[in-house]
Amino acid sequence: MSAKKLVVYLVCEPETPELAAAAVAGGADVVELGIPFSDPLAEGPVIREASERALARGMRTRACLDVVARARELVPGTPLVPMTYAAILEAYGYERFAREAAEAGASSPIVVDLPVEVHPELRRIQLIAPTSTDERIRAAVANTDGWLYVVTLTGTTGAREEVSSRLGALLERTRALAPRELPLYAGFGISTPEHAREVAQIADGVVVGSRVVQVAEQGPDALRAYVASLRAAIDAVAEPVP
């Protein structure tokens, strides 16, 4: 087993539990389950279009939590991370969301646009970006739950031709401010096995979103094979667990 983690992102739709199971079978360690939002500021065209499709199919917050629950039945040992926006939680209720997500078997969520100091009672995975100051990184480190999401670039999600040249410096700066045991997982713009291998050399985990969403449209078998290619690339450079 590799010490380096592979995190994949899927948008919540009726078929998503089976897709999550396929991703785990291919080697994913964590599955993010995106709750579709009508104005996803951080998302590029692939995830935006998938979110629009999901909303058109009636995928609202409660339906998405049902997807989490069904995925939990299929992958009982895999962390399932709801990924959402503050406006959704404002409408649904923070306490209600936290309670129902836990009942569905979710791990701590990611709330993309919720500042670290707002609703601190909601334990969640925090994000940092190349524009984050040392003060913001320290706050994210102190308040994150489980691991820290290191956004590799500014702008929206989506496949890129190469890994951001700013990632190495951001990881180095963050490691200097974080406890040694806090895992740093890097995402945004990672789409190929070559990208995954490159990022795994310097981060504790690799997060792949837009390309996973694209491949998932081809069905579980295609997704399993794609995730397996990422897994193999990561394992080629990762140190084994002692």
Q: Tell me: the pLDDT tens digits for 151-200?
A: 987 554 544 556 667 799 999 999 999 999 999 999 988 999 999 999 99
Q: Which helix (H) or strand (E) holds 24?
A: helix 16-26
Burial of residue 113, with CB atoms counted within 10 A of its CB: 0-12 exposed, 13-18 middle, 19 or more buried: middle
Q: Quick one: pLDDT at residue 166?
A: 79
Q: Quick one: pLDDT at residue 241?
A: 43
The answer, yes or no, to whether residue 1 has pLDDT greater than 60, is no
Q: Quick one: pLDDT at residue 152?
A: 86
Determine whether domain 5-235 maps to CATH 3.30.420.40: no
Q: Quick one: pLDDT at residue 217?
A: 97
The pLDDT confidence band at residue 106, using thresholds 50, 70 and 90, is: very high
**Amino acid letter for position 38:** S
Q: Quick one: pLDDT at residue 163?
A: 66
pLDDT > 70 in the chain, percent: 92
Q: How, if at all, do strands 148-151 and 127-128 pair?
A: parallel
Q: Quick one: pLDDT at residue 164?
A: 64
- Rounded Cα distance between 46 and 76, Å, is 28
CA-to-CA separations, 110 to 34, 149, 199, 201, in angstroms, rounded: 9, 9, 21, 24
More confident residue, 1 or 40: 40
Considering only CA atoms, which of 148, 122, 32, 37 is closest in space to residue 81? 32
Q: Is 239 helix (H, G, I), strand (E, B) or coil?
A: coil
- Rounded Cα distance between 157 and 174, Å, is 21
Q: Once rounded to an integer, what is the mean pLDDT over residues 201-226? A: 97
Q: Report pLDDT digits (tens) over 9-47.
A: 999 999 999 999 999 999 999 999 999 998 877 678 899
The answer, yes or no, to whether residue 147 has pLDDT greater than 70, is yes
More confident residue, 2 or 234: 234
The pLDDT confidence band at residue 2, using thresholds 50, 70 and 90, is: low
- Are the beta carbons of 126 and 143 closer than 8 angstroms? yes
